Amino acid sequence: MASSIRTVPVTSQGGDMTTTLATDRGAHTATPVLPTADAHLTLRPLPTGDARITGGFWALRQERNGRDAVRSGYQQLETAGNFRNLRIAAGLEEGEAVGPIFMDSDVTKWLEAVAWEYGRAPAEDLLDLQREVTALYAQAQADDGYLDSVQQVRGKGERYTDLKWSHEMYCAGHLYQAAVAQHRATGDTGLLEVAIKNADHLVRTFGDGTAPDGTPKTRDVDGHPVVEMGLVELYRETGNRDYLDLAHWFVDARGHGIIERAGGEPTYFSDRVPSREATTVEGHAVRAVYLAAGAVDVAIETGDTELLTASETQFADMMATKAFITGGLGARWDWEAFGDPYELPTARGYAETCAAIGGVQWAWRLLLATGKPVYADAIERLLYNAFLAGVSLAGTEYFYVNPLQQRDHAHQDENRSPAHGRRGWFDCACCPPNIMRTFASLDGYLATATDGGLQIHQYATADLGPVRVDTDSPHDGRVRVTVTEDGPLALGLRIPAWSDTTTVTGPDGSANPTAGTLHVVDREWSAGDTVELVFDTTPHRYVADARIDAARGQVAIERGPLVYAVEQADQQGFTADDLT
């Protein structure tokens, strides 16, 4: 479909940029990470719009997320008071701010979901919601670019006085991600203009050197990372190098006592060891993996091989010693934190849904940087087992916490407890809009490209540039890939680590590639040529590592990418707790 696009100039400190506003736009599916042409990469994401899930397992969940969850999210945010906080900050209403200090971040994660969902399934009501809330952000923003509605109302002019807890730059990071998503998926520039104004404010305020007024800049970091990822993506969208440089400064500033000197416990804030020296993850799980993902973004754009190598070491140690078999991340309810190596309790494991999402974001960036299939394997495990458990099939009820075991007659205590069952919202509602944006952008995580090549990493029924994929995965191990264009193509096919034997049959015959590798079929193709993959989905029995004292002697069953659960509803005559 032809599109009628008009261009409008948008300016930011340090450079000019041309952006587009769509006037007649078709589906424009997600590319949540879009490195620059000069980025140091092995693989590149497919261009925006080239990947589209069209059926099967993930399409059903995307459809329910878009039809029900994203649209009902607007009312949930209204009921919880998030929008009212913004209206008070904008001077449209009077009153006191409600909710946690980071209430704005729930709105921007939802706005990101709205943008990607519009790209997936364009609809005028989504544009109306997006533009209404974007206008509210623009009205709430201070003249100098500062924006944090709860702090603006409660702080009465004070800013950045307790960054270890205030989440001011955490909210900014999610704002930038939403703004970039909105621009890529819809062409609208409204939120991007707000984000640029805020990012320019941060550039003037933080880092080394002096501010425009001649005073020293503030050497401080936010207690909850995510601004690093947001700044790098904003740099990619605008070309303003100041944003990348500030993200690099924030990554390198950690581990040098800034938060500890402000009274914060350094382990919890991932501030005990510098990012390029750390060998593992520690502290608050979501904060740790968001910081790690941001560090890889910086490494990709700057060529910082030391930072990338350290991140690979940290990821490998996390998956080997600090991740549940589901891929769930975060062992402790106390401080929502990673524990010590092999500290992985079954009933009291935390495994926050947001941590799984952050784990996917980190693994995806490592996959782009290195091309190693181990990161695509990790994404698959995280998506099917750590992330998916956090949402109902209807798409509108959620788990915040995802332990491996729910004890019989477990007490329904505080709001996050899974003993309540999945819930429609939470007092701390970080997970629901995070799930929404992940489903809506899932198309962008399926495949990558190189010069002359396409690599398929996640198997879903989808159109991926010059190929079409058909599969009943994860329930069936058969995949058909159909090439839809004539010409040369190096077609890369991930062979999952769980498939003991795999058969790949194509125009040139059959092969039996090794598990955990990328199998490449490089040839001249004719439209309609097919490749058939048959993965071995024989169930595997895994015995818990003896160092995991909470699960010593226990086993888990996997079939294909799925970790199976024993559910009490299926049992008769005994409780699941009695199993040995």
Q: Which residues are catalytic?
A: 336, 430
H or E element, residue 293? helix 285-302
Rounded Cα gap, residues 439 and 85, in angstroms: 27
CA distances from residue 580 to 349, 540, 577 in whole angstroms, order as listed: 19, 18, 8
H or E element, residue 9? strand 4-12
Q: Are strands 467-471 and 478-483 parallel, antiparallel or unpaired?
A: antiparallel
| Residue 363, Cβ density class (10 Å: 0-12 exposed, 13-18 middle, ≥19 buried) | buried
Residues paired with residue 391 on neighbouring β-strands, in sequence order = 398
CA distances from residue 61 to 67, 328, 579 in whole angstroms, order as listed: 10, 20, 32
Of the candidates 165, 164, 228, 167, the residue with the CA atom closest to the CA atom of residue 199: 228
Rounded Cα gap, residues 472 and 140, in angstroms: 47
HSE on the CB side for 74, CA within 13 Å? 16
CA distances from residue 56 to 59, 128, 285, 381 in whole angstroms, order as listed: 5, 30, 32, 18
For residue 442, give the 3-state DSSP assignment. Answer: helix
Q: What is the DSSP letter of 513?
A: P
Radius of gyration for the alpha carbons in the chain, expressed in angstroms and rounded: 23
Of the candidates 311, 273, 308, 159, the residue with the CA atom closest to the CA atom of residue 222: 159
Q: What is the DSSP letter of 231?
A: H
